[in-house]
Amino acid sequence: MARRNTNRRVGIADVARMAGVSHATVSRVMNGNAAVDPDIAARVRAAAAELKYQPNPVGRSLALGKTDTIGIVVPDLANPTFQAILRGLSIAAAQDGYRVLIADSSEVTSEEAILAGEARRRCDGVVLCAPRMGDAELEELAPTLHPLVLINRTTVASNTPSLSVDYSQGIQELATHLVSLGHRKIAYLEGPLHSASNRQRLAGLEQFQAKHPDIELQFLEAGSNFDSGHDATDAVVASGATGILAFNDLVAMGLLSGLHERGIRVPEDISVTGFDDIPFARYTMPPLTTAAVPINELGSLAWRRMREQMQQSADATEAEESAQDVFEPRIEIRRSTAPVSLPVG
């Protein structure tokens, strides 16, 4: 015996007793599974209503082998990108009667695998955002998490869908935009060093450099949040670059603020670009030129891929090749970028 019987919630047995039928019958009418005599069904329903009976989800989960819940693991819930993914996912999942369980790893990479595993055990599937997890660890982890959908990561086990943003392409377009405005000295404010999406941007810039050997491209350390952009202000000024590609909008905004404090005008003196097009990007002063990622769509597509995968593993039609969705960012030209001003002198 597990718990004292005191204070029990109303259970299926109570309804059964009140309606004068067996548990089984109550279950049947609640789920509309098998044919049951209309009179009896009515009696059961009346009893259930009278007692305000609501099936215990834990019991159901155990019997059914599903929890109607999916987990999402994110590195940092303070990041607008993950907030937006979470939101898109949550809304889409809710439409199908699923809930989402959060696991915030607080940027502690070593916890991610554990959290993901735990989430998977509690839920019917996991959406994993783990930008800094090592590739090897991811490869090992992924099979144990199935159904799994990856965000901004891919795995060789090709039956796990992944959604990603083409950061390489986006950053190249932003860089090209700056060049088209006449900028010749460009600096990239790097994101976290081990972040997969930072690596993609670097790769994109390498391609860009190859195409534009005449452009002077510098790399400055920054990070992924507002403060790291703000802190990078001096380095930016020292670099002498006229066009700045920030890792993301947050970093760009921090930089904007730092430049403003030093009386450096944007875009007259320096052009700045962000990345992501978070909701606030259009309201900075000046409004931020950035690469727009349809992030809510990403959240809801994540759910769709998850659902597909849960269905096909229910059908036991295993190992189907899964979709690899890549979102092409669309650059959004606002007023933080402008033609380079004439060199003094």
Partner DNA sequence: ACGCTCCGAGAAAACGCTTTCTCATTGATT
Partner DNA sequence: AATCAATGAGAAAGCGTTTTCTCGGAGCGT
Q: Applying CB under 7 A, which residues contact DNA?
A: 1-3, 5, 8-9, 11-13, 20-28, 30-31, 33-37, 40, 53-56, 58-60, 62-65
- Whose Cβ is closer to its own copies: residue 12's or residue 175's? 12
Residues 6+ apart with CB under 8 A from 278: 80, 81, 84, 248, 249, 250
In the three-class reduction of DSSP (H, G, I as helix; E, B as strand; rest coil), residue 148 is classed as strand
For residue 194, the partner it binds in its own copies, DNA, none, with Cβ less than 5 to 8 A by kind, is none
Closer CB to DNA, 53 or 167, in the complex:
53
According to CB under 8 A, which one of 117, 203, 216, 235 is a site residue for its own copies?
Answer: 117
Q: What, of DNA, its own copies, none, does residue 311 touch, CB below 5 to 8 Å by kind?
A: none
For the bound state, the minimum distance from the C-beta of residue 185 to its own copies, rounded and expressed in Å, comes to 26
Give the whole-angstrom CA distance, residue 24 versus residue 300. Answer: 37
Residue nearer to DNA on the CB measure, 56 or 106: 56
- Closest contact distance (angstroms) between CB of 327 and DNA is 38
Taking the C-alpha atoms of residue 294 and residue 272, their distance in angstroms, rounded to an integer, is: 21
Phi, psi of 126 (to 5 degrees): -135, 135
CB of 19 to DNA, least distance (A): 8
- The entry of its own copies, DNA, none near residue 1 (CB within 5 to 8 angstroms by kind) is DNA
| Binding at 99: pick from DNA, its own copies, none (beta carbon under 5-8 Å per type) | its own copies
CA distances from 114 to 21, 194, 335 (A): 45, 19, 44
Print the SS3 string covering 51-69. HCCCCCHHHHHHHHCCCCE
CB-count exposure of residue 7 (10 Å: 0-12, 13-18, 19+): exposed
The 10 Å Cβ neighbour count of residue 82 is 22
CB of 280 to its own copies, least distance (A): 5
Site for its own copies (CB under 8 A): which residue of 109, 176, 218, 257?
A: 257
